[in-house]
Structure 1
Amino acid sequence: MDLRLHSSLTQVLPIEDISQVGYARRTAQRVAEELGFDATDCGRVALVVTEVASNILKHASNGELHLRVLPGAVAGLEVIAIDRGQGFDVHDCMTDGFSTRGTQGIGLGSMLRQAQVFDVHSDARGSVVLTRFYPRTAAVKDLRLGITQHSLHDDPACGDAWALAIKGQQVSILMIDGLGHGPEAESAAKAGATAFNREPFADPTVLLDEIHHDMRGTRGGAVALARFDSARDGLSFIGIGNIGATLISEDKNRGLASHPGIVGLQYRKIPAVDYAHCTGQLLIMYSDGLQSRWNLRDYPGLMFRHPAVIAAVLHRDYCRGRDDVTVLVIALETLDD
């Protein structure tokens, strides 16, 4: 599998009154049409979006839908419903026709059949329901990657940037947090992303130096690079500044240390650190728009959910609300060649 992914802001649709349900349905359907979905596939999207948005109003009074285009050989659409309600019994709601408040009652089980990818987490803090749609005729292998990216106050300029490249058995990941926020922070982050995208599989120390060179003359920023090689079951990490990164397995967490400095201005050159036996673990990277005091073990079962669900929960509960914020969660798995 060879793939290149780049930054894009998450589209947020507030769900606070009944009129916004129709708007959400039309918006998601329009995105699906732009991706080339036919009438039947657009209908699947519309049905599920209507149901999950209605459920937010009826069970939590308000919440959000997050929309992302999923690039690749076949483009897809991701829809995540997020609320802070009292949660629900996932087992009961998987039954077709189950409805407690008079919605269509198509049930989570039916949503699972409408969407190619489906997952859900619900507890006393709220619920997150993930659906991913592709044209039904396409054979698509889901990439177990979750990303949520938001600019401060919905500014069209975002000072965070991320990029991901897959080549054979290797995954290379970049995250940048340009100093501050707004257009100048965005320019700094974009300059670094351009350097990464020229040769994402270069030696991480050399690549960081190239990023530093391209970010000169900008505000600079924090930068983290992660390289996972499933063939050798290892991950290399190098970070400058306040990008957080953690490896999570069933029995332990490993924080990945970043060092002081500002890429583009001044930092002390350091080697990448290697971490062994990473296959099957989660890698979570995040800009400092997210608080660092979270612990997935406070959410029973969450670490076994889809990475997109994990990213959405962390953003919902730990966003500082005073800076751009990006959360990237990836399951480190053996890749198909």
Structure 2
Amino acid sequence: MDLTLRSSLTQVLSIDDSSQIGYARRIAQTLAERCGFDATDAGRVALIVTELASNILKHAQRGELHLRVLPGGQQAGIEILAVDRGPGFDLHLCMTDGFSSQGTQGIGLGAIFRQAQVFDVHSDDRGSVVLARCYSRTDKVQDLRFGVSQHSLRDDPACGDVWGLTIAGSRISALMIDGLGHGEEAEAAGLAGAAVFHQQPFASPPVLLDDMHVAMRGTRGGAVAISQFDASEGRLQFLGIGNIGASLIDVEKSRGLTSHPGIVGLQYRKPLAFDYPQSTGQLLVLYSDGLQSRWSLGDYPGLRYRHPAVIAALLHRDFCRGRDDVTVMTIALESAHA
């Protein structure tokens, strides 16, 4: 699988009234049609969104749908996440057709599972996150074990957080930039650095950082984190300047990755990249300082085993500071034959 993903904001649809179900369905179906889905596949997306929005109202009274376009094989796919703070539910019971805690037909989650190519859930007494990914029926795609939740402050169309991800064979290179402040000038700083990254994503991180530093001069500058993983070696290399948070998480522990002080585009001391061997099977989490740093997946039993997109959405839900742009990127570091 070779592909490149570029920074894009999460499209958020609020769900707190029944009138919003139809609106969400139309938005999602239109998005699917723009991605080249035929009438049947676009109808699957519309059905999933209708069921997810209805479930939010039935079980949590209010919540959000998060929409994102994904790279596919022959054409793009659609990611849909339902996020709420309701009382949670028993997934095994709710997947059974006919079961309902609200006196309804009880076909929602079962229908979503059958219609989506990728389906996953985390639910507890703090709320639920439900993931559905849809692709064309004729498109043979390998699911990307990656998630991102990117939101600008006060829904500004400009976002000072910029991210990128490139996969080439067994290698992964991930970028996150947090331009100083927020708004258009912060976004311009991030985009200047990202343009360099996308030209040479697998260059040595110190060399790549130097080139980004040159490109970001004259802008506000920003914090930068570069992560490169080679599955054939099982090794992660990380280089960070500034306050981008980064963690490697396995089933037993979590460790923060070390960054250097400074501002790319303005000033920093020549840094060294850090090597983290035997990283295969771990989860890499990168996040801008719009997310609180005091979180632990261990506080959510079973979450470590969920899809990275579910993890990213949950961290945003529970730990967004609410006073800056915020981006969370989660990547499963899998073996070369996975």
* TM band (smaller chain): over 0.9
Amino acid at match of 1:315: H
SS in 1 for 2:78: strand
**1:78 matched to which residue of 2?**
79
**1:167 matched to which residue of 2?**
168
1:199-222 Cα distance to aligned partner (Å, 9 max, x none): 111001100001101000000000
1:273-320 Cα distance to aligned partner (Å, 9 max, x none): 000101110000000000000000000000000000000000000000
**1:31 matched to which residue of 2?**
31
**1:94 matched to which residue of 2?**
95
Amino acid at match of 1:70: L
**1:51 matched to which residue of 2?**
51
- The normalised TM-score by structure 2 is 0.98
Amino acid at match of 2:36: G
SS in 1 for 2:26: helix
Summarize the alignment of residues 120-139 of structure 1 with structure 2, pairs less than 5 Å apart.
120-139=121-140
Q: Structure 1 residue 103: deviation in Å?
A: 4.5
RMSD: 1.1
Q: Structure 1 residue 165: deviation in Å?
A: 0.7
Summarize the alignment of residues 112-127 of structure 1 with structure 2, pairs less than 5 Å apart.
112-127=113-128
Cα contact 1:97–1:107 (8 A) shared by 2: no
SS in 2 for 1:262: coil
| CA distance in 2: counterparts of 1:107 and 1:93, whole angstroms | 8
- Percent identity between the aligned chains? 70
SS in 1 for 2:139: coil
Cα contact 2:239–2:273 (8 A) shared by 1: yes
Cα contact 2:72–2:141 (8 A) shared by 1: no
Q: Structure 1 residue 198: deviation in Å?
A: 1.0
**1:305 matched to which residue of 2?**
306
Cα contact 1:117–1:133 (8 A) shared by 2: yes
| CA distance in 1: counterparts of 2:92 and 2:303, whole angstroms | 16
| CA distance in 1: counterparts of 2:268 and 2:101, whole angstroms | 57
Q: Does 1:270 find its partner at 2:267? A: no
Q: Does 1:42 find its partner at 2:42? A: yes
Cα contact 1:98–1:107 (8 A) shared by 2: no
1:157-200 Cα distance to aligned partner (Å, 9 max, x none): 00000001111211001100000000000000000000111111
- After TM superposition, the runs of 4+ consecutive aligned structure 1 residues lying more than 3 A away are none
| CA distance in 1: counterparts of 2:9 and 2:113, whole angstroms | 26
1:121-148 Cα distance to aligned partner (Å, 9 max, x none): 0000000000000011211100000001
| CA distance in 2: counterparts of 1:259 and 1:107, whole angstroms | 48
**1:219 matched to which residue of 2?**
220
SS in 2 for 1:314: helix
Amino acid at match of 1:54: S
SS in 1 for 2:314: helix
| CA distance in 1: counterparts of 2:295 and 2:274, whole angstroms | 24
- The normalised TM-score by structure 1 is 0.98
Summarize the alignment of residues 194-233 of structure 1 with structure 2, pairs less than 5 Å apart.
194-233=195-234
Amino acid at match of 1:153: R
Cα contact 1:150–1:326 (8 A) shared by 2: yes
| CA distance in 1: counterparts of 2:138 and 2:72, whole angstroms | 15
SS in 2 for 1:95: coil
**1:237 matched to which residue of 2?**
238
Q: How many residues align?
A: 337
Task: Identify unmatched segments of 5+ residues in structure 1.
Answer: none
Cα contact 1:3–1:72 (8 A) shared by 2: no
| CA distance in 2: counterparts of 1:97 and 1:324, whole angstroms | 42
**1:22 matched to which residue of 2?**
22
Structure 1 72/214 Cα, relative in aligned 2: closer, same or farther at 3 Å?
farther
**2:62 matched to which residue of 1?**
62
Task: Identify unmatched segments of 5+ residues in structure 2.
Answer: none
